[in-house]
Structure 1
């Protein structure tokens, strides 16, 4: 199966606009587009910026191959002038935005794309596709990390997502603080630590549980995790320790009342001398289920479906809006959605102690800076050339620091107002 190049990961109407703008002479007018969300998903108090690094890589590769141009021309998507323009397409503008791992709130201009109208508008679908997915996953994952209270999490949702979305989700979850992923492609592509245990199928393959455990330990040693709930959990734990000894690294439990079973399993492991054997739980865990297990003797959580689907909010509801043409602010006025025209600059205001208090966004100007303000936007692409981007480890640490900085109420899983207020100052 051929993997589509980035240029065709777009909507038909982007090229309709390109064709018309080329014909009427407006294609090169200097424009500014902004990516933002008008509201956070229900129950969320912050969003997490994720996917920017992936996006910049895709913008770098955004080229129309001859066969793609031929397809667009042959099917009537574009005319001859537009086909020639696409054949030579290179993004030559600028991209600025919030760092990966930064928190965002309603109205936060998390990405700004500037350049000729045509070269910017053709990126719209790709930008929103990447950021809406990755930001949604990262926000859900960050809530799970908070709920886990320092205990490790492994992302294991690959089988619940499109194959490429699974890799992107693994990256976003790791950025948000997950310790491992089960997805090997993500491990190779982004140097994310991978981990895995075994499925019930492996136990069922063998004539009995003991034989299955013995095979796994013979192959991987005691530094492995045995899945003990295929049959009777208590007997599974006894058999696991009999086979591997008290030095067994971990057991995994994937079903039942996890709170009760975790307590019973810890007591049983300790009675068998396996005081250092860890307990890993999995099975449709989300941030609420993880929080409910906070007082139980669980050492690691495995989360899958809820992570890759944004835990009920599979999109960050980001939009890509034209806000400036030739330096003049523009805004759609047919609906009163509170959008303000003009390019925005944003700062995060903090107390001297480091606690964030407010986000200030100024249209067509620069905020009056106070002593503890932090400018939120930075350059990603200048004149079409990507600049140095932070690595994923830096982004993980950036998010960790951001979550520390918001008021503690902002970390609650219950519905409420955004963690900090946002003030937008219009031009003039």
Structure 2
């Protein structure tokens, strides 16, 4: 155990972070001389959103690099659905067992965040969404959370520990405003002294009515006003935002945007996207429910086998020419023109592909767009 309640990476890499029953079972297997060659399949039985975005593959590849296994997976950023295998590991069971806990943890957590981000970004319908969940997450995993949110499509993140290349976003806390004698003096100092490339977005709900502070900030000069009104004080938040928008427009500040934050949920984004220009979303992304993946043996010593409730045998997921998908046994010939979605990423312990954060983000955006298109086609009766 290192400082701040986090583990040393080498402990995870060596299988020291695992469920105890794997170690106890492995000890018995060793004494019994049992070590079958297996294929483990990772999939999920239920998805509340109806879809998932795969993330965390970068960590999985690091975990299994140098170990005597072969791994196939959907490319990171891919959309997946219930019952579809997203990853398969082939090797001797005792070389895999103790790593199942970390494997699932990487995929479950990161995919849950990426999926929530993609869902909320989709609901925002073009309005930028920013990941503001730093204070809702353990600091040790901030890079993973911000990376997953970025793959899911957010326009920027707030945590300074985010991986390189991800744009940082943030305005000011209420404590900053309260450090000055008046909100006006806080905004004036920010306008004068903040780095030139920092947007002049002023927090406008600290001491008085949102409308009053928004107009005062606009007079000083700002690109946007941020409303972070606590949920306990909001009342009808839509009415508040409409009033702020009305007063800004009436007084000639039509170009001043409204940025909304403070406990924003997916429901809020869907309900307010017509009157809000951008959103800062915290816990709804950073604390998103995990994707409940499981890892199950589907082949032992080249023979199909699986526990109850699982379909035996290794499989492939095929994308058909019309955009739909089909799961087939690995040995079955695919439909004409179909493309395989599970690809080999590690061969006998050696990575054979590189996982790129930007490529994963691009893929997620493209597949979300395609999923929306397919949904529209079904509604129109074209499929």
Q: TM-score, normalised by structure 2?
A: 0.88
- 1:31 aligned partner: 38
- 1:361 aligned partner: 327
Are 2:313 and 2:329, in contact at CA under 8 Å, matched by a contact in 1? yes
Question: Residue by residue, what CA displacement relative to the aligned partner does 1:92-140 show, whole Å, maximum 9, x if unpaired?
Answer: 2111111111111121110101111111112100011111111111111
Are 2:127 and 2:273, in contact at CA under 8 Å, matched by a contact in 1? no
| 1:341, distance to aligned residue in structure 2 (A) | 1.1
- 1:332 aligned partner: 307
Is 1:378 matched with 2:383? Answer: no
Are 2:133 and 2:282, in contact at CA under 8 Å, matched by a contact in 1? yes
Is 1:284 matched with 2:263? Answer: yes
Q: 2:23 aligns with which of 10, 15, 36?
A: 15
Are 1:135 and 1:316, in contact at CA under 8 Å, matched by a contact in 2? yes
Q: 2:249 aligns with which of 270, 293, 298?
A: 270
For residues 132 and 367 of structure 1, do their structure 2 counterparts lie closer, same or farther at Cα, with a shift above 3 Å needed?
A: farther
Are 2:142 and 2:161, in contact at CA under 8 Å, matched by a contact in 1? no
Question: Residue by residue, what CA displacement relative to the aligned partner does 1:142-191 show, whole Å, maximum 9, x if unpaired?
Answer: 110111001111001121122234432221111011010101111xx242
The 5 A counterparts of 1:409-428 are none
| 1:40, distance to aligned residue in structure 2 (A) | 1.6
The 5 A counterparts of 1:317-328 are 317-328=292-303
- 1:4 aligned partner: 8
- 1:67 aligned partner: none
Root-mean-square deviation (Å): 2.1
| 1:46, distance to aligned residue in structure 2 (A) | 1.1
Cα distance in 1, alignment partners of residues 55 and 19 from structure 2? 22
Are 2:318 and 2:334, in contact at CA under 8 Å, matched by a contact in 1? no
Q: 1:57 aligns with which of 49, 58, 62?
A: 62
The secondary structure found in structure 1 opposite 2:320 is strand
Cα distance in 1, alignment partners of residues 223 and 210 from structure 2? 17
Cα distance in 1, alignment partners of residues 226 and 216 from structure 2? 13
The secondary structure found in structure 2 opposite 1:241 is helix
Cα distance in 2, alignment partners of residues 305 and 16 from structure 1? 37
Question: Residue by residue, what CA displacement relative to the aligned partner does 1:311-367 show, whole Å, maximum 9, x if unpaired?
Answer: xxx12111011111111111124xxx2x1111111112242xxxx33x211224134
For residues 15 and 215 of structure 1, do their structure 2 counterparts lie closer, same or farther at Cα, with a shift above 3 Å needed?
A: same
Cα distance in 1, alignment partners of residues 313 and 150 from structure 2? 35
Cα distance in 2, alignment partners of residues 253 and 394 from structure 1? 34
- 1:159 aligned partner: 135
Cα distance in 1, alignment partners of residues 181 and 165 from structure 2? 38
Q: How many residues align?
A: 361
Cα distance in 1, alignment partners of residues 164 and 31 from structure 2? 42
For residues 381 and 190 of structure 1, do their structure 2 counterparts lie closer, same or farther at Cα, with a shift above 3 Å needed?
A: farther
Question: Residue by residue, what CA displacement relative to the aligned partner does 1:210-247 show, whole Å, maximum 9, x if unpaired?
Answer: 1211222222158321101112212212221232x2xx
Q: 2:318 aligns with which of 327, 347, 351?
A: 347
Structure 1 residues 394-403 or 174-183, which shifts more?
A: 394-403
Cα distance in 1, alignment partners of residues 333 and 202 from structure 2? 56
Which consecutive residues of structure 2, in runs of 5 or more, have no partner in the other structure? 377-383
Are 1:241 and 1:272, in contact at CA under 8 Å, matched by a contact in 2? no
Cα distance in 2, alignment partners of residues 132 and 165 from structure 1? 14
Are 2:57 and 2:355, in contact at CA under 8 Å, matched by a contact in 1? no
Q: TM-score, normalised by structure 1?
A: 0.79
| 1:9, distance to aligned residue in structure 2 (A) | 2.2
The 5 A counterparts of 1:249-260 are 249-255=223-229, 256=234, 257-260=236-239
Cα distance in 1, alignment partners of residues 68 and 137 from structure 2? 34
- 1:414 aligned partner: none
Cα distance in 1, alignment partners of residues 31 and 218 from structure 2? 75
